[in-house]
Structure 1
Amino acid sequence: MNETFPNWLKQRANLTPNRLAVKAENEELTFDELYKRVQNRVKQLISHGVKRDDHIGVLMKNSVDMIEVIHALFSVGAIAVLLNHRLTNQELAFQLSDAEAVSVICHEELAGKLGEKVNVIVVDHLKEIESPVYIEEIEEFKADQVATIMYTSGTTGYPKGVLQTFGNHWSSAIGSALNLGIVQEDRWLLAVPLFHISGLSILFRSVIYGIGIVLFERFDAKKMNRAILEDGVTIVSVVTTMLNQMLVDLGHNKYPESFRCMLAGGGPVPKDLLEKSLTKQIPVFQTYGMTETSSQIVTLSPEYSMKKVGSAGKPLFLCQMKIMQNGRECSPFEEGEIFVKGPTITKGYWKREEATKNGFTNGWFHTGDQGYIDNHGFLYVLDRRSDLIISGGENVYPAEIENVLLSYPAVQDAGVVGIEDKKWGQVPYAFLVTTEKIDREDLLAYCQERLAKYKVPHHITFLEELPRNASNKLLRKDLRKYLEKGMSK
């Protein structure tokens, strides 16, 4: 793909300079104001040695600062490695080393999570550069040029860096617009993390569409509802636990008619929650996507939001989807693996040639997720990968937790599954075989040092042996049967 785009923010600031770009809790910026701030950030980054093609870690919380840094890295020509600030020091160290990051830009409060092996640029300490500094600003982005790297856990438990190009992000934005439409008065409420593809994609849509975003550092149901009721928000991206809390806080109130889309991802939304939304006339559009597809790739169209409750919809206009089982395409309602194809899909994983090769068949990407389509072509997602746990919108692979558990002395075998949780949707549940009695609290403390909080098991059951097949593969379905039989105490 040889297509090029003008520098997105520079072009937007030229086309509609006075439109709202971002409204945060303490400030508002137009696109022109944001662009001028980014130009200063470019000077700051260059003065700290950031160069074209560098891999630069971004360890920041949702903020105007973070938005400026991301745009500035693009203008320098560097690649942004988006880091989850909820990860442990060890997890971050692995990702930075694997990504070959030259430097990390972070907020001061997060600097302590970084070791001495990487150059740290604390954004709070950067000063405005008034003296003339020559900026060789990137004027064009190439479609096949890598813009961002995001790490996602794999079935082996070791995270992989997903390469996302400018073409991927552009196609995602265009595909979403062709489905949901664009209204000049649109404002997208952004409370999901910018280090996740769900949050980052909203930032790009804002610049490409020329619409404002209302930015929160973190989710707060009361503030979210207030923004919809008072700040002209028309679209919100949520996961199940967010939607549930917003409905509880909303009570008997209703959103204004100008509110047109509650985009729900991060796993299937429970039917009772969808029905509650229907009673309040809240248009919930279920959507399906992943880091590898640069956000949504299947989404309900507006006219079906009330008719196809429970479905994730159909592919975006630029994309394709099919259900496969044992090398053949499935019939309607037949369960199988979801395969997708289109310009939003990653070109591969950083330094993982085999994983990249195994992820595609004739241009079709293997999602590993299970689902089926009905006789009208609407997708119903059954499971986000057979083993994947989705806790509060975060993807958690059991294998990653098992690797940590197995490194603890006296743990001989470990298996992890997800169980339902009213607050988080799902939480990890561990089954262990040990060579001697161990202290449960010591084990959890060990995990907390090595895993993000949402990955630490909420429950532990000790067994004499774990169910495995002849090939020694762990049978997670059998572990779930232990829970169903009440053997979890």
Structure 2
Amino acid sequence: MPVRHYDWIAHFGRRTPDKVAAVDLASGRRFTYAQFDARISRLAAHLRRGLGIQRGDRVAVLALNTTDTLEVQFACGRIGAVFLPLNTRLTVPELHYIVGDAAPRLMVHDADLAEIALSVSKLCKVDSTLLLGPGGSYEAAIAAAKPLDEIEIVTLDDISTIMYTSGTTGQPKGVIITHGMTFWNCVNLGGPAYISPSSVLLTVLPLFHTGGLNCYTNPVLHAGGTVLIMRAFDPGLALAVISDPAQRINVFFGVPSIYQFMAQHPSFATADFSRLVNGGVGGAPMPVPLLKVWEERGVALQQGYGMTETSPAVLTLDKEDAARKAGSSGKPVLHTEVRIVTPDGRDAAVGVTGELWVKGPNITPGYWNRPDANASSFTDGWLHTGDAARIDEEGFYYIVDRWKDMYISGGENVYPAEVENVLHQLAAIAEAAVIGIASEQWGETGMAIIAVKPGHSITESEIHAHCAANLARFKRPHVIQFVDALPRNATGKIHKPTLRKNFATPAPADIAKAAAS
């Protein structure tokens, strides 16, 4: 029989009522667990009694980071509704598809995104809207409502959230997230990330993304710790908050670009990281040179691997192995099974690259309204991650790249992340991405798109020479393209579909250069 889901905020509202649960850095609001619990209770009552939100109904949120988003998440849990966080960087047509697919009854939004939120709500015939912020209908609703009289009984198997993937190929898919997935992620990450009641987390990734919500915001709240929510990532502000002893930040998580932007900030050299117990990184392959930069400042970044469909933790690297196994995503978390599968369906041998498959209680039961994706994404309960991986003799896993990012040059597989890691060894390079482009001679060849650090310079010939000294010939990018900055998605990951769209067909001179090289 499924286990009943229990409410963490309500629990700590009773157990440690006066402890600070959440801080909204932009507004300066601070909520103890008792205060947070009371607000959530009144919000849940308004959703049910005031707006008629029932079990299974979706509640959308379109807002920059705020503690209010967490209130909506937990209020939905108390009435059995489904939390629907929306990507704040999407356009009206993009959101029109997602909101139309999920069909929420309510749109909660902030003032900065009101025009988009109201436009989408009108297009999709959303019943109601609530405006966040001082003087908004959200605060008025909480103030006027009585506490929730009866909590809906839900289990770990019930849907808590629908989170839409970025849609790098085709339309985005709504990943179904259960209460159990979120719970098991808290358990799986709690040990490796050293999360405890004393944890104080600075959240900088967007809360509409699993990285912001579950690495490690929900796990810290599950442990009874404190979360500080930054409205939008600012590297200088993040460094200042971490350095401030009054804030007591001891847990942090970011994608590689977050650490890159912080490392390039002028205050990085004097920032105080002495209180950091854990600095986690995931979301994309982490350049080893950037790991070394942070290691020199006394921070052993713990790499990990996960995805929205896995809630998200799958692999984590223990802090003790961070330097010795730089580049590895670690080993499987406690309540998860993993396999590396070759194209012929066999388990890959040590050192052989294959696709990572995952199974366990932290894995999505499927995609919202997408039976086709459900059929193609699972084999006997194993989720096909779409990521290429290998394992070494000690059992450490390495994410080589996305399968779809791999290209074949002269019959050889090339994984761009490996080439990008070599490019990042050059001190003048701020950002680098490699994509495969058409080649008459080799089928495909590599193009490196590079942004140079301010005040630095580097030539194509210097890049080619470095690659020649460090990479096999078939892996070397034949074409170099310089740009001011690389396109990124909302979580800061380089968006390769945009690069392919803009650069997949090189200019005639580039084709001739590639053929000559």
TM-score by length of 1: 0.79
Are positions 1:58 and 2:72 aligned together?
no
Q: 1:35 aligns with which of 18, 37, 51?
A: 37
- In structure 2, C-alpha distance between the alignment counterparts of 1:152 and 1:418, rounded to whole Å: 27
Cα distance between partner residues in 2 of 1:123 and 1:108: 7
Structure 2 counterpart of 1:248: 264
Amino acid at match of 1:68: E
One-letter code aligned to 2:258 = M
Question: Cα 1:482–1:59, aligned 2, differ >3 Å: closer, same or farther?
Answer: farther
Closer/same/farther in 2, CA of residues 233 and 418 from structure 1, 3 Å limit: farther
CA distance in 2, matches of 1:118, 1:485: 53
Are 2:144 and 1:170 aligned?
Answer: no
Deviation of 1:339 after TM superposition, in Å, equals 1.0
Counterpart position of 2:429: none
- CA, structure 1 residues 248+109, in 2 after alignment: closer, same or farther (shift >3 Å)? closer
Matches within 5 A, 1:387-398: 387=405
Residue in structure 2 matched with residue 379 of structure 1 by the alignment:
397
Does the aligned pair in 2 maintain the 1:7–1:139 contact within 8 Å? no
RMSD: 3.1
Structure 1 range deviating more: 167-176 or 181-190: 181-190
1:370-392, Cα deviation, whole Å (9 max, x unpaired): 010111111111113423999xx
Query: What does 1:176-195 correspond to in 2, within 5 Å?
Result: 176-195=189-208
Higher relative contact order (CA 8 A, sep 6+): 1
For residues 19-66 of structure 1, what are the alpha-carbon distances to aligned partners after superposition, in whole Å with 9 as ceiling and x for unaligned? Answer: 221122212111111111212222332313322210122111101222
Indicate conservation of the 8 Å contact 1:320/1:342, yes or no.
yes
| CA-CA distance at 1:462 after TM superposition | 5.1
Q: Say if 2:304 and 2:330, in contact at 8 Å, map to a contact too.
A: yes
Matched, 1:312 2:320: no
Q: CA–CA distance in 2 between the matches of 1:482 and 1:19?
A: 63
- Residue in structure 1 matched with residue 371 of structure 2 by the alignment: 353
Partner of 2:318: 301
Look up the SS of the partner of 1:338 in the other structure. Answer: strand
Aligned counterpart, 1:267? 284
Structure 1 residues 304 and 95: alpha-carbon distance in aligned structure 2, compared to 1, 3 A threshold: same
Which residue in 1 is equivalent to 2:255? 239
User: Is 1:344 the equivalent of 2:362?
Assistant: yes
Q: Is the 8 A contact 1:76 1:136 kept in 2?
A: no
Aligned to 2:217, the other structure's residue is in SS state: helix
Q: How does 1:71-470 map to 2 (within 5 A)?
A: 71-113=74-116, 114-115=119-120, 116=122, 117-119=124-126, 120-124=128-132, 125-126=136-137, 127-128=140-141, 133=146, 135-138=148-151, 140-153=153-166, 156-201=169-214, 202-230=216-244, 231-249=247-265, 250-253=267-270, 255-325=272-342, 326-387=344-405, 420-422=449-451, 456=498, 459-460=502-503
Q: Which consecutive unaligned segments of at least 5 residues does structure 2 have?
A: 407-415, 418-432, 436-443, 454-493
Q: 1:421 to 1:162 in 2, by over 3 A?
A: farther
2:36 aligned partner, one-letter code: L
Task: Normalising by structure 2, report the TM-score.
Answer: 0.75
| SS across alignment from 2:253 | strand
Q: Is the 8 A contact 2:190 2:196 kept in 1?
A: no
Q: Distance in 2 between matches of 1:483 and 1:292?
A: 43
Contact 1:44/1:129 (CA < 8 Å) preserved in 2? yes
Distance 1:197 1:252 in 2: 30
CA contact (8 A) 1:20 1:29 kept: yes
The residue type equivalent to 1:35 in the other structure is D
Greater alpha carbon shift after TM alignment, 97-106 vs 143-152: 97-106
1:187 offset after TM fit, Å?
A: 0.8
C-alpha change, 1:183 and 1:112, in structure 2 (3 Å) is same
Which sections of structure 1, spanning at least 5 residues, go unmatched? 391-395, 399-414, 425-452, 466-480
Asked whether the 8 Å contact 2:43–2:145 carries over to 1, the reply is no
Q: 1:118 to 1:137 in 2, by over 3 A?
A: farther
User: How many residue pairs end up in the alignment?
Assistant: 423
User: What whole-Å deviation, never above 9, does each CA across 1:101-159 have from its counterpart, x for those lacking one?
Assistant: 22222113323213313324132332145566473442543100000001114574121
Deviation at 1:354, TM superposition (A): 2.5
- Counterparts of 1:132 and 1:266 in 2: how far apart (Å)? 40
SS in 1 for 2:386: strand
Return the letter of the residue paired with 1:335: T
Aligned residue for 1:347, secondary structure, equals coil
Work out the percentage of aligned pairs sharing the same amino acid: 29
Runs of 4+ in 1 over 6 A off after TM superposition: none
Aligned to 2:47: 45
1:375 and 1:154 mapped to 2: Cα distance? 35
Distance change (3 Å), C-alpha of 1:218 and 1:423 = farther
Q: Is the 8 A contact 1:80 1:147 kept in 2?
A: yes
Paired with 2:280 and 2:254, the residues of 1 have a C-alpha distance of 6
